[in-house]
Amino acid sequence: MTTHQFKPDLPPPVATVGVYAWLRANLFSSVPNTLLTLVALYLIWLIVPPLLSWAIFQATWLGDSREQCTPSGACWLFIEQRFGQFMYGYYPPELRWRVDLTVLLAVVGAAPLFVARFTHKLRYGIAFLVLYPILAYCLLSGGMLGLEHVPTTQWGGLMLNLILATVGIAGALPLGILLALGRRSKLPAVRVVCVTFIEFWRGVPLITVLFMASVMLPLFLPEGMSFDKMLRALIGIILFESAYVAEVVRGGMQAIPKGQYEAAAAMALGYWRSMFLVVLPQALKLVIPGLVNTFIALFKDTSLVYIVGLFELLNSVKQASADPKWLGMATEGYVFAALVFWIFCFGMSRYSMHLERKLDTGHKR
């Protein structure tokens, strides 16, 4: 009987670890690789220093008129001076606290939904989804409770993008769920109607939908009945988005194992109850990342109402840079708008990836 004496663990040879080895392995492992590294370095050198110099080092940050701006750098004074317009559009400046309050309420109200320990998420969520829009509408539009009325034509800036996107997705969700159910229905007539509806909206660009909403909707309604411009755009967005939501939800329903449908049927649940009590709760949980991605796409698409003449962020930038006082500041304006969109979209996409990872572990096996 012998006992094996194990050798001690040794550190790897120097040539395979450390900065030198890392550089060798990751940047200069072969001739083509070295060339690629050099090309990348050249590209970075070409783009990054001029960009930084324009945006930061040569830029003008303080002051109150364009005369103070240096010609070689960005003139961020424009953004500072017009920040209110970019955020709120033509919403009266003395009433903008109402918008801030609405956003604050949304953040505070939605916060419990993101706390893992909070147990009544579903009930609370539904109550929030019903009550909050009413409250938000009262606050933003006014005309009651002693609040001054602000017509939607004065709404604008980032606030309008956010309103269109959130109301759009909230409105599209129930319609999308119904369409998804319809598309997976066993009744041929229902299926045909839903498939046609979904494929129609998915086959046309959002712009044509917005055009249609703005020129056709008044035609479709009986005489004397009309919506304002924003509401028309919103209806177009909801119809358009419901088709995309439907496809996302359908994906989730397909991922639910057949056994779940059979189990629901075996418990003598009817169609609606087995859908709403068994299938949809599971499917919707699965598709949350997909819905977040749809929301990101919609948020980017809200910029399109620019084309039908609503004053969302991009249009506000355009209006502001058409002001003779700030002529030629379009670049700064667009860069700022891009940064705003980027922060929102990047943040949400990270959140969606995080959710995906979290849900993934919960659903394997």
Q: Which residues bind other proteins (CB under 8 A)?
A: 1-4, 6-7, 9-13, 16-17, 25-27, 29, 33, 36-37, 40-41, 43-44, 186-190, 193, 200, 202-208, 211-212, 215-216, 218-223, 296, 300-301, 303-304, 306-307, 314, 318, 330-331, 334-335, 337-338, 341-342, 345-346, 349
In angstroms, give the least distance from the CB of 288 to other proteins.
Answer: 20
Return the structure tokens found at 219: 């035609």
Question: Tokens standing for 253?
Answer: 């329903």
- Residue pair 276/120 in contact by the 8 Å Cβ criterion: no
* Residue 264 C-beta-side C-alpha neighbours within 13 Å: 19
CB of 270: closest distance to other proteins in angstroms? 10
Least distance from C-beta 91 to other proteins, angstroms?
22
Quick one: tokens of 230?
């924003």
For residues 295 and 237, give the distance between their C-alpha atoms in angstroms, rounded to a whole number: 12
CB of 122 to other proteins, least distance (A): 29
Q: Which is nearer to other proteins, 135 or 297 (CB)?
A: 297
* Closer Cβ to other proteins, 106 or 207, answer by number: 207
118: left (phi over 0), alpha (psi -120 to 50) or beta: beta
The one-letter code for the residue type at 324 is P
- Cβ(89)–Cβ(162) under 8 Å? no
C-beta closer to other proteins: residue 75 or 150: 75
CB 202 to other proteins: min, Å: 8
Report in angstroms how near the CB of residue 86 gets to other proteins at its nearest.
13
Q: How many CB atoms lie within 10 A of CB 125?
A: 13
Cα separation, 4 vs 103, in Å, equals 69
